Amino acid sequence: MATVMKSADVNRGLARLEPNVPRVIEDAIAICEVPAPTFREGPRGEFVGRRMEAMGLPTPRTDAEGNVICEMPGHPDRATVVVMAHLDTVFGIETPIKVRRDGDRLHGPGIGDNSMAVAGMLWLGDALRNLPGRGSLVLAANVGEEGLGNLRGAKALWNQYHDRATAWIALEGAMSAEVVNLGIPSRRLQIAYRGLGGHSWRDFGRPSAIHALGSLISQTAQIRPPTSPKTTYNIGGISGGRSVNTIAQDAELVLDMRSEDAAALGNLEQQVRGLVTAIGDAAGMRSEITVVGDRPGGQLGDEHWLARIIETAATEIGMKLRWKSASTDGNIPLSHGAPAVTLGVAKGDNLHSVEEFLDVAPILQNLQLDYLVLASVLLRPRG
C-alpha cells in the first residue's frame, strides 16, 4: 500500500486536487441550489449528469430509481469500486436555498448534507480518470438516503453491482477526518390512532385520537434506552385532527429508532409497540402500526484490508482519523458483508437545519485521503 501511494502515477492524480478545490466549492454551491427533497431528486440528478458530461467524464445513465451513474471502465484484472454520494436532502421544495459564503464558511440548507459530497465525488473522478492500470470506478449520485427514502438508491446500486464491486465508498459532505465503519440499523414506524370522533361540545367525553397520541408521546419520552450499545429514538412528525372544535377521529406520528445493536433495537421496538397497544386499548381507540423504514446494519472490522488502506493513507497525509458509527448509504453493502466505509469531504454542523453550515478549510486534506484510498483499492488485483 505504501508503494502505491508513493508512485508517480498516483501522485500525478493527487496533484490535480489542490488547484481544483475552488471548483469543488463552486459545484457544491450550484448543486445545493437545485432543490432535491427525497423522492423529488430528478432536477438535481439531471444537473449533476450534465456536470459530469461537461467535465469530460463518461456519459452517465439514470437507472430506474433515479440514481445518476457514471461508469469509468478500467483494467479487468483490477478491483472495481462503487462511490456513492446521495442527492437528496431533508428540506421540502418550499424551502428557499441560497448558499452564502462567509470566509471559510458556506451557509445553506443541505450544503454539507450532501451537496459537498456530490461535488467532491465529481472531482475525485476527474483526478482518477487517467490513473494507469486502475480498475473500474463507478460514480453514483444516488437517491433516497434521507428520511423515508429507506436507502432505496443504495439498494438499487447493490442489485446492479454486488457481483462486480470489490469495495464500496459512501461520501458525506459534512464529515472531516472521520470514517464510518459501523452502519447503524434503524427502524421507522408510522403509528396511528383511529376512532369515532365528534363535536367538541355535543360529544365531549368521546376518545380523541390526538389525546391518545399525546399520551403515547409522553410515555415514549420516559423510555431510557441503553447508552452502550448506543440506542436512540425520535418522533419526527405528527399530524391529525380537523378543526379546533372537532374531537380528532385520527392522528398519527412517525418514529425513528436506531441502535448499534440489533437486539437492543428490537427491545426498544417491543417497548414502543406495547405502549401503543396499551394506550389505544385504554382510550378505546384502534391502533395501527406500519413499518415505513427498515435499514439494515453491518460493520467493517478494524483489521480488514480496507481499514488498513485507510489508516495507511491517513498516515501518508498526516491525518488523525476518528472511526465512528452512523447510518449512511454504506449500510447496504455492509449489511451484505461487503467491504464498505463512509468517508468525508469537509466539516459541517447544524445538519438537517436551515442554519446548516460547512467549513471548507479541510476540503483538500479530506479529498487527498479519499483519493489515496480509492487509488489504492483500484490498483488492487480483482478479487
> What CATH number does the domain containing 275 carry?
3.30.70.360
Are 51 and 150 part of one and the same domain? yes
Q: Are residues 312 and 275 in the same domain?
A: no
pLDDT tens readout for residues 231-266: 999 999 999 999 999 999 999 999 999 999 999 999
Q: Indicate whether 2 pLDDT > 80.
A: no
135 and 47 belong to one structural domain? yes
Q: What's residue 75's pLDDT?
A: 97
Query: Grid coordinates in use for 341?
Result: 466505509
Residue 3 confidence (pLDDT) = 79
Q: Are residues 231 and 209 part of one domain? A: yes
Residues 209 and 235 in one domain: yes
Spell out the long-range contacts of 44-50 with Cβ–Cβ below 8 A and sequence spacing 24 or more: 44/87, 45/87, 45/141, 45/143, 48/87, 48/118, 48/122, 48/141, 49/141
For residue 4, the model assigns a pLDDT of 84
pLDDT tens readout for residues 125-168: 999 999 999 999 999 999 999 999 999 999 999 999 999 999 99
Residue 162 confidence (pLDDT)? 97
171 and 217 assigned to the same domain = no
Same domain, 79 and 137: yes
Residues 140 and 177 in one domain: yes
| 383 lies in some domain | no
Out of 278, 295, 312, a domain closes at: 295
Listed residues 242, 271, 295: the one ending a domain: 295
Residues 234 and 279 in one domain: yes
From 295, 310, 337, the end of a domain falls on: 295
pLDDT tens profile 57-69: 999 999 999 999 9
Kindly report the pTM of this predicted structure. Answer: 0.92
Domain count of the chain? Answer: 2
Average pLDDT taken over every residue of the chain:
97
Say if residue 47 is in the same domain as residue 168: yes
CATH number of the structural domain spanning residue 73: 3.40.630.10
Asked if residue 19 is part of any domain, the answer here is yes
Residues 126 and 143 in one domain: yes
> Which residue range forms the structural domain that includes residue 205?
186-295
For the segment 313-356, what is each residue's pLDDT rounded down to a tens digit? 999 999 999 999 999 999 999 999 999 999 999 999 999 999 99
